[in-house]
């Protein structure tokens, strides 16, 4: 099996991964065995892990997040060898696993009887992923064992809110017991890619994209040697497809960069405090009467932008902590509307919906 390879994003989110603490991994495995909840880092975002075979444990993740019970989860596994234990493997799935696992790719396949409805939201399909982050990989390797156990791991945040790309984001939102909701938070450092995995549906008559990520349409089509369109309304329900998702508490707007200074002037005249994300040159174009709570410079390359996106949204939202959020507004300059920016634009549109 060939591991996924991609140029590293040039951002603080691409900081060297912390050395894996095997004692912490062993503690996490014991907690999972007992039906507990563990936040684990992946190369995309931090996930809220539970033993996929234990209905009570998986249901607890729904409660911790405030997630609807019919919203299916992804089962994370140690390797492609685990696929037949959870799903009906297809030639397309084998090709993609050979190229992009471990890595930020999730495949939706027809489920095996082992996979409970508490994982699939009552559907006959299951989403599978093999993450490449050393901490996640170590935990899955230690926990999977001869039973090929898997971990459900939705993003470790309150449902619909900004996804966590650092352990601190998890602590601020869900937290550890006794004050918080989780039994353990594994801190493996910032996530490398910072946005959720690409998700492809392989359970129907043709491959189709359910969620965009750093594995692009062109990369999928190169491996499968066929068109891979976006999924239609008849596709399986999947994570991250709701119109409003990844949202800050403060109201946010996505605007063309050229329109942003004008919109800032309109809001400033209403006494609205602003937090802005966009190219550095925009800062000089903001109106003089605008009260600026924060300005985050947007990277100009897609990998760096994606890796820093959720960190930036957290920073912009934090700018209004302790104040009346109704007087605040986050303005985001839209990146280029090109295929390579599809994943970033998808997250921004849902965050501002």
Is the C-alpha dihedral spanning 353, 67, 158, 199 positive or negative?
A: negative
C-alpha closest to that of 105 among 237, 222, 14, 200: 200
Q: Are 266 and 168 within one domain?
A: no
Say if residue 62 carries a ligand binding annotation.
no
The band of 247, judged by pLDDT with boundaries at 50, 70 and 90, is confident
**According to the annotation, is 163 in a ligand binding site?**
yes
The per-residue pLDDT for range 154-173, each reduced to its tens digit, is 999 999 899 999 999 999 99
- Looking at the fold, whether 48 and 125 belong to one and the same domain comes out as yes
Is 67 a known ligand-binding residue? yes
Please check the confidence at residue 12 and state whether its pLDDT lies above 70: no
CATH number of the domain where residue 332 is located: 3.40.50
Q: Is 30 annotated as a binding residue?
A: no
pTM (2 decimals)?
0.93
The predicted structure's pLDDT at residue 13: 40
Q: Is 129 annotated as a binding residue?
A: yes
Three-class DSSP category at 290: coil
Residue 2 covered by a domain = no
Residue 234 counted as domain residue? no
Mean pLDDT, the chain, rounded, equals 93
280 and 188 housed in the same domain: no
Is 1 within the bounds of a domain? no
Question: Which pLDDT tens digit goes with each residue over 185-203?
Answer: 999 999 999 999 999 999 9
**Minimal CA–CA distance to 245: which of 323, 158, 329, 304?**
158
Question: In sequence order, what E strands does 41-168 have?
Answer: 47-51, 74-76, 105-110, 125-129, 151-152
Domain-ending residue, one of 209, 224, 239: 224
Q: How confident is the model at residue 10 (pLDDT cuts 50, 70, 90)?
A: very low
Indicate if the pLDDT at residue 101 is higher than 80.
Answer: yes
Q: Is residue 233 part of a domain?
A: no
Q: Which domain holds residue 40?
A: 22-224
Token pair 């650092």 is found at 166
Q: What are phi and psi of 81, to 5 degrees?
A: -60, -20
Confirm whether 87 is domain-assigned.
yes
Give the count of beta carbons closer than 10 Å to the beta carbon of residue 284: 7
Tell the burial category of 91 from Cβ atoms under 10 Å away from its Cβ (0-12, 13-18, 19+).
exposed
- Same domain, residue pair 132 and 62: yes
Residues 90 and 199 in one domain: yes
Looking at the fold, whether 347 and 216 belong to one and the same domain comes out as no
Neighbours of 316 (CB within 10 A): 25
Across the range 243-272, mean pLDDT stands at: 93
Residue 159 domain-assigned? yes
- Consult the annotation and say whether 8 binds a ligand: no
96 in a structural domain:
yes
Are 29 and 81 contained in the same domain? yes
Whether 52 and 184 share a structural domain? yes
Query: What does the pLDDT read at residue 145?
Result: 92
Name the CA radius of gyration of the chain, rounded.
20
Indicate which CATH number applies to the domain containing 108: 3.90.870.10
Structural domains in the chain (count): 2
Mean of the pLDDT values across residues 254-269?
97
Query: Is 263 annotated as ligand-binding?
Result: no
Same domain, 82 and 162: yes
Annotated binding residue 79:
no
Q: How far is it, in rounded angstroms, from Cα 155 to Cα 42?
A: 10
pLDDT cut 70: percent of the chain above it: 93
My answer on whether 187 and 71 are in the same domain is yes
d(CA 92, CA 249): 40
pLDDT of residue 2: 46
Q: Does one domain contain both 192 and 256?
A: no
For the cut 70, the answer to whether the pLDDT of residue 1 exceeds it is no
Percentage of the chain with pLDDT > 90?
87
pLDDT at 298 exceeding the cut of 90: yes
In a domain, residue 120? The reply is: yes
Over range 174-188, report the average pLDDT: 97
User: Which residue do the tokens 């491959």 mark?
Assistant: 207
The answer to whether the annotation marks 239 as part of a ligand binding site is: no
Among candidates 330, 210, 217, 241, which has minimal Cα distance to 277? 330
Note the pLDDT of residue 15: 58
């Amino acid at each position: 099996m060939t591991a996924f390879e991609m140029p590293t994003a040039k951002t603080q989110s691409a900081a060297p991964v912390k050395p894996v603490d095997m004692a912490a991994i062993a503690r996490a495995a014991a907690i999972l065995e007992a039906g507990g909840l563990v936040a684990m880092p992946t190369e995309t975002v931090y996930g809220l892990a539970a033993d996929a075979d234990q209905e009570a444990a998986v249901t607890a993740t729904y409660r911790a997040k405030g997630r609807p019970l019919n919203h299916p989860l992804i089962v994370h596994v140690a390797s492609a060898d685990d696929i037949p234990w959870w799903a009906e493997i297809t030639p397309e799935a084998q090709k993609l696993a050979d190229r992009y696992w471990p890595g930020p790719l999730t495949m939706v396949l027809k489920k095996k009887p082992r996979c409970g409805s508490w994982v699939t939201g009552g559907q006959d399909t299951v989403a599978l992923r093999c993450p490449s982050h050393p901490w996640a990989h170590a935990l899955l390797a230690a926990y999977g064992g001869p039973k090929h156990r898997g971990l459900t791991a939705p993003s470790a945040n309150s449902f619909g809110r900004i996804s966590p790309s650092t352990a601190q984001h998890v602590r601020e939102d869900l937290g550890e017991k006794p004050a918080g909701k989780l039994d353990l938070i594994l801190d493996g450092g910032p996530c490398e890619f910072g946005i959720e995995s690409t998700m492809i549906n392989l359970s129907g008559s043709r491959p189709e994209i359910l969620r965009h990520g750093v594995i692009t349409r062109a990369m999928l089509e190169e491996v499968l040697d066929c068109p891979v369109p976006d999924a239609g309304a008849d596709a399986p329900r999947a994570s991250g497809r709701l119109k409003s998702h990844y949202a800050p508490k403060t109201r946010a707007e996505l605007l063309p960069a050229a329109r942003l200074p004008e919109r800032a002037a309109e809001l400033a005249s209403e006494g609205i405090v602003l937090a802005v994300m966009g190219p550095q040159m925009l800062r000089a174009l903001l109106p003089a009467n605008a009260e600026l709570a924060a300005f985050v410079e947007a990277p100009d390359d897609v990998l760096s932008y994606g890796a820093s996106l959720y960190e930036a949204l957290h920073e912009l939202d934090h700018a209004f902590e302790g104040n009346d959020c109704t007087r605040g507004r986050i303005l985001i300059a839209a990146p280029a509307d090109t295929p390579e920016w599809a994943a970033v634009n998808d997250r921004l549109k849902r965050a501002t919906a």
